[in-house]
């Protein structure tokens, strides 16, 4: 790749020499000869003068600010993070899993592997499972009986795809994620402490025994879904837990049984969604957000980090806090709490003033 | 199975024809011929008319509301979630692990496998470990040296049972859970920042070095314990970390070193319990609850989702918030926060009124 | 080991007979003959009289309180947790992995194993990876192509070390941890809901598509780093995500892409650090703390459990709450909330009094 080729790929304006080699993108201070220095943040531009890179990617508005002679080619881009997506995409490598089936892998009878599938060491594919064309199963992956993985999938080491689960095309599952563990669902034969807490706010009954509700359903993930490391998506009770196309799920996220998540959602790190909740399309849940069971979140809602969603939320709004309310209201509460000390003081002063007006001694307030 | 057989199993009243085949339970809209439609929620009853199922499970109070002729047999039940437990239990399948030991598994010398044990591919059982009768170890499980798993256990793919850990009978461990990693326990040779923060609320010392406290203990789980996907239960320091019989632990829960959890507890998704805490019997910790180290939670306590337990809590009460307080108090605080804006306004008005009474200019308040 | 030898190792004062055998340390109530009873907590001293142990470790100030004749040797120590570190260190056992490479392991061409390395069953070491002298890889570990593990490492069962990642010497990684999954980084080609929420607090744009920013970087862990079970440390975008020497990371912690964590930090259970955050040296983040992307936390800062760090924090201070503020301020707010009900009551009383002073009817307030 040279600067001109990379410019075309990034849809960037090229200033300078198009024939310069353009290798791996790096921070300007870390770039070596042949690398591309990425300096879309204006603060990084001075580093170009001392760096070894001969090609730089900068923001369109900052071309003039590149030190003279610092590089041989400047690639000028608009939306920096989009340029970063294209740039990293150009240099991303797939995991080194050799095509075909590693001799140590165990493929049960009746499993079907598509064309160009790569299966790494110590992979187990259960009976009747189907792996789509060109999909890659890295080491130590397990695919349960009857599970289906679409074309162009990438299942990283140690990920678990439970029996009967369905993954669309272009799905990525990271290290040690769990798809298709049983839902967490128990019932007390008589009314228990949770029933009583919900009804009266008090504990008036005890959980003498816990009877298991089994998970007969599975998990269905749409196309282009990505699941983070050690994330857990549990089976449904009767039908499937469902995640829509293009939804991205970060590390250590929990999606409970029967949950339905729409398409193009972003569920950030350590988010937890309890059983039977319904999340719309293009919803963003920031890090550590919790969602209660059975609530509904509307399309395009955004919940700020750490928020606790206890009741259903309308779409196309930003929420924050626990219990989560509209962001403006949450911020207003935070600001009022900062002024609360003053309010206590004012009330104390007022009490004194009123007492004085009443003819009493203001000092005894 | 036919409708009459299923009615007996569910302890349901049968209305209609007992000989109709009764297959896999499903949502009424998804049920196919031969399936049982599950419509215990009254809103679902109209779907029965258009559905393919000939058998329906409905609430005892809703029998009359089933559309005429919609199905051939109605199974009428009382407590719906209990019926769901029995219904799903009747159709639940065990993982497809063949009896005996898969040829790829590695069983170290001195390990003992009970009668009817099933060991899947790539399982490692350490020296001196003992697996109880009829237990199933799915693929990629590891059982450390000297660990003991009781009868009728089910250890899902990738779960780790550390050396010397003890699991009772009928224990279920889900995908990639960790039982018996070392506790997170360090000490600074001199007083460090945490000691100083606890004593004075300020940082007056620095953590120049961190010395490891090793975990010589293991983990003991009682009978009928269930551990969720990617959950972590750490070893004790001198003795074992202990979880009592029938306690259910959801995905991504963390139970720290030396913790003692009682019996029949429910620890929901992403709960974290820090080292040496003591949790009583039948305690329910909802999703994302955090419990500080060394605190005690009494029997039958319920902590609502997201609560932060910083101090010991008495049993048989409902708690919420951070720091967790009795639910009524937490709700009262939330309601007062919603009225806080009005309070600021009232105080401003009062100030003006008082100034006017004092003979001043109310407008300058 | 006898009492005298153990006293030397603990730097303890020996009272009594030095030749008594001193075996595994235990709780006084659980200690058997030959064990050492650990009774550094004064409440445990009475148990020594009935216990089987002949050697006890007690606090220096409590030697006189040991029941007469209860044991043959008393080891008196100063800082109890430091003594616990030395005591447990003396008896800690390494996992039972035989030296050499287990026949089931797969070592790819060009991988280099140092002297005395132990590789367990079902381990996969990728091409060009390097394992330092005396390191132990337990069962089911995967080490990606080109990854480097320093000397004296201990990688527990099921841990994933991604391609190109670098671990220093004396690193411990626990069960099923993920080092080197891809960062969670996506961009919308046009401005999306998150951009709009950050700029205006409202959702004025929709996430029509999500384009992936790939992770070209890896993860670098310093010497003596410890990573807990199911913890996830993601790759950087261009360079590496970095964790400094001697930093300890608990179970289920998430460290996002491009994060830089300093040395000697303690990141407790379920902490989450979002992308590109910078954490200084000797920082302590207690359980379930969340840190927003791109913020900076200064050296020696301590954040109390459950805190939500939304903005950069100065070092050498204690923080609490969400959003995290200095601990004193957080506590003051909590105390004011407890008094808020009284404030509402006082304002109501004041309104009545003012109305009366104005000549109105106080009862109608």
Q: What is the pLDDT of residues C189-246, one digit of tens each?
A: 888 898 888 888 899 888 889 999 999 999 999 999 999 999 999 999 999 999 999 9
| pLDDT at site B55 | 96
Question: CB–CB of B252/B270 below 8 Å?
Answer: yes
Length of chain C: 365
- What average pLDDT score do residues B192-201 get? 88
| pLDDT at site B359 | 86
Question: CB–CB of B239/A154 below 8 Å?
Answer: no
Average pLDDT of the residues of chain B = 95
Closest of C104, C168, C191 to residue C140, by C-alpha: C104
Asked whether the beta carbons of residue B256 and residue C264 sit closer than 8 angstroms, the reply is no
Query: Which tokens in the block code for residue A338?
Result: 């900062």
Chain A residue closest in CA terms to B336: A333
| pLDDT at site A363 | 57
- What average pLDDT score do residues C302-331 get? 97
Which residues from B are below 8 Å from A332, CB to CB?
Answer: 341
Chain C residue closest in CA terms to B127: C96
CA distance C113 to chain B (A): 22
**What 3-state DSSP class applies to A85?**
helix
The whole-model pTM stands at 0.97
Helix/strand number for chain C, H first, E second: 6, 38
Q: From the centroid of its chain, how far is CA A68?
A: 41
- Local confidence band at B174 (pLDDT 50, 70, 90 cut-offs): very high
Which residues from A are below 8 Å from B261, CB to CB?
Answer: none
ipTM of the complex: 0.96
Question: CB–CB of C17/C5 below 8 Å?
Answer: no
Question: CB–CB of C121/C102 below 8 Å?
Answer: yes
CA distance B301 to chain C (A): 20
CA distance C102 to chain B (A): 10
Alpha-carbon gap, residue A302 to C201, rounded angstroms: 10
Average pLDDT of the residues of chain C = 95
Which of A105, A119, A124, A156 is most worth mutating to test chain B (most B CB atoms within 10 A of its CB)?
Answer: A124
Long-range pairs for C334-342 at CB < 8 Å and ≥24 separation?
C334/B323, C336/A340, C336/A341, C336/A344, C337/B333, C337/B336, C339/A344, C340/A340, C340/B333, C340/B336, C340/B340, C341/B332, C341/B336
CA distance B224 to chain C (A): 23
Point out the catalytic residue in the list C124, C257, C264, C294: C257
State pLDDT tens for residues C353-363. Answer: 999 999 876 65
State pLDDT tens for residues B346-358. Answer: 999 999 999 999 9
| pLDDT at site A208 | 82
**Contact status of C354 with chain B (Cβ, < 8 Å):** yes
Instruction: Count the neighbouring beta carbons within 10 Å of the beta carbon of residue A43.
Output: 7
Instruction: Count the neighbouring beta carbons within 10 Å of the beta carbon of residue C5.
Output: 15
CATH architecture of C3-91: 3-Layer(aba) Sandwich (3.40)
Asked whether the beta carbons of residue C102 and residue B106 sit closer than 8 angstroms, the reply is yes
State pLDDT tens for residues C27-84. Answer: 999 999 999 999 999 999 999 999 999 999 999 999 999 999 999 999 999 989 999 9
| pLDDT at site B207 | 86
Task: Provide the percentage of residues in chain B whose pLDDT is more than 70.
Answer: 98
- What average pLDDT score do residues C253-272 get? 98
Cis-peptide, bond into residue C301, ω within 30° of zero: no
| pLDDT at site C365 | 42
- What average pLDDT score do residues B183-192 get? 93
Alpha-carbon gap, residue B263 to B279, rounded angstroms: 9
| pLDDT at site B208 | 82
The ranges of chain A with pLDDT < 70 are: 361-365
Alpha-carbon gap, residue A311 to A324, rounded angstroms: 8
| pLDDT at site C266 | 98
Query: Which tokens in the block code for residue B189?
Result: 């040779």
Q: Report domain extents, chain A.
A: 3-91, 327-364
> Which helix (H) or strand (E) covers residue A80, if one does?
helix A80-91
> Which helix (H) or strand (E) covers residue A81, if one does?
helix A80-91
Q: How far is CA C258 from CA B4, B287, C225, C243, in A?
A: 62, 29, 18, 10
Question: CB–CB of C132/C170 below 8 Å?
Answer: no
SS (H, E, C) C150-195: CCCCEECCCCEECCCCEECCCCEECCCCEEEECCCCEECCCCCHHH
Cis-peptide, bond into residue C323, ω within 30° of zero: yes
Q: From the centroid of its chain, how far is CA C296?
A: 19
A124 is catalytic: no
| pLDDT at site A361 | 66
Q: Is B361 left (phi over 0), alpha (psi -120 to 50) or beta?
A: beta
| pLDDT at site C100 | 97
Which of B250, B308, B335 is most worth mutating to test chain A (most A CB atoms within 10 A of its CB)?
Answer: B250
Question: CB–CB of B298/B309 below 8 Å?
Answer: no
Asked whether the beta carbons of residue B120 and residue A124 sit closer than 8 angstroms, the reply is yes
Asked whether the beta carbons of residue B336 and residue C334 sit closer than 8 angstroms, the reply is no
Alpha-carbon gap, residue A171 to A177, rounded angstroms: 13
| pLDDT at site B365 | 42
Question: CB–CB of A154/A92 below 8 Å?
Answer: no
Question: Chain B to chain C, count of Cβ pairs less than 8 Å apart?
Answer: 216
Q: From the centroid of its chain, how far is CA B4?
A: 34
State pLDDT tens for residues B145-157. Answer: 999 999 999 999 9
Chain B residue closest in CA terms to A185: B85
Residue A158 has its nearest CB partner, among B172, B176, B252, at B176
Question: Chain A to chain C, count of Cβ pairs less than 8 Å apart?
Answer: 215
Tell whether the model's pLDDT for residue C306 goes beyond 50.
yes
Chain A residues 78-107 with a CB less than 8 Å from chain B: 104, 106
């Amino acid at each position: 790749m040279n600067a001109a080729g990379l410019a075309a790929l990034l849809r960037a304006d090229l200033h300078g020499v198009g024939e310069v080699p353009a290798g791996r993108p790096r921070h300007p201070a870390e770039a070596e000869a042949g690398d591309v220095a990425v300096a879309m943040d204006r603060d990084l531009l001075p580093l170009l003068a001392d760096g070894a890179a001969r090609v730089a990617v900068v923001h369109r508005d900052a071309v003039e600010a590149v030190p003279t002679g610092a590089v041989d080619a400047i690639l000028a881009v608009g939306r920096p993070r989009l340029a970063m997506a294209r740039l990293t995409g150009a240099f991303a490598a797939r995991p080194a899993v050799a095509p075909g089936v590693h001799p140590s892998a165990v493929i049960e009878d009746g499993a079907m592997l598509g064309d160009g599938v790569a299966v790494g060491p110590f992979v187990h594919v259960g009976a009747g499972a189907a792996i789509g064309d060109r999909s890659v199963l890295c080491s130590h992956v397990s695919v349960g009986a009857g599970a289906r993985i679409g074309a162009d999938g990438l299942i990283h080491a140690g990920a678990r795809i439970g029996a009967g689960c369905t993954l669309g095309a272009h799905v990525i599952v990271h290290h040690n994620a769990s798809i298709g563990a049983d839902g967490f669902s128990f019932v007390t034969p008589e009314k228990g402490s949770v029933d009583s807490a919900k009804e009266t706010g008090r504990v008036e009954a005890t959980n003498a025994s816990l009877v298991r509700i089994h998970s007969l359903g599975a998990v269905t993930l749409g196309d282009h879904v990505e699941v983070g490391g050690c994330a857990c998506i549990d089976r449904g009770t009767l039908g499937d837990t469902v995640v829509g196309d293009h939804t991205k799920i970060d590390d250590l996220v929990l999606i409970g049984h029967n949950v339905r998540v729409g398409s193009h959602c972003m569920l950030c790190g350590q988010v937890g969604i309890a059983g039977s909740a319904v999340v719309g399309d293009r919803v963003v849940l920031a890090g550590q957000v919790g969602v209660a069971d059975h609530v509904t979140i509307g399309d395009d809602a955004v919940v700020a980090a750490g928020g606790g969603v206890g009741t259903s939320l309308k779409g196309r709004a930003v929420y924050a806090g626990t219990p989560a309310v509209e962001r403006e209201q949450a911020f207003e509460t935070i600001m009022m709490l900062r002024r609360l000390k003053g309010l206590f003081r004012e009330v104390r002063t007022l009490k004194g003033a009123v007492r004085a007006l009443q003819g009493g001694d203001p000092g005894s307030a």
